[in-house]
Structure 1
Amino acid sequence: MERILGLHHVSSVVKNAQENVDFYAGMLGMRLVKKTLNYDDIEEYHFYYGNHDGSTGLSTYFPISDSKEGDIGDGQVGYVTYAVNTGALDFRKERLDHFDIFNYSYERFGERYLAFSDRHGLDIELVETPFGPNSQWAFNGVQPKTAD
């Protein structure tokens, strides 16, 4: 049986398009891989964020200004977890602190995590791992060794 290594993408609804871009591309340093229009409503955007080459594991967002907040377990995930290089959590914590984003660290199953929420209440975890692709993407102060 083939081992599943991850998800193709996770989609979320957010209220404000610019806040979404500022947070994921600007603060987290993710690559805005693609910006399209929502196929169901051509007046709304659909943003795709990922690593340097846009490989699977994308996060996609539909900015819908009149959307209601999600309820965890009823249409909303508990956490979206991204892998980062071993040793990158200290840089990430400093960056979150610099942008005045509440965050906390913990350990689970022997792995280090850093947790915080985006501007629209989606809970995010970063986990240190020596596995996975290394980013070649540098953007807005986030260098490749601290990106993935």
Structure 2
Amino acid sequence: MNKVDKKILQLLQKDGRLTNADLSEKVNVSPATCHRRTSQLFKDGYISETRAIIAPEKVDRSTLVLVGVVLDRSTQESFASFESAIKKFSFILDCYLVAGDFDYFLKVRVKDMAGFNKLHSSQLLDLPSVRQLRTFFVMKEVQDNAPLSF
């Protein structure tokens, strides 16, 4: 990966809707070269996907909740069972296996606290191998999904 490739990645992180013509102009290469390089970045896995970021408040999902999960045992089977179950819930945006006091952290978007309470009691508590859930309601999103710097 050279300087042009890095510049393409940086620009696309800021605006994934840039046309090839605009992108090629900004990185100072021909449109054909820019298209070839961008295609290669996708092929090589530097860019995994492109998608729109939806404003949560516009779709009634303005409440962000982080959930710390402790499993009742630390075995490959309990981790696999939990991870399989988590992938079935569309309200869970992210799930991270972590080191420390928790086994996992979940990032959840819901309409409001009452909506989370319903999910908590009807779905999260029923997840396999869960011993404890600790809930953190986000009061202010200071930075979310910032571009990677390299």
TM-score, with length taken from structure 1: 0.30
Higher strand share: 1
TM-score, with length taken from structure 2: 0.30
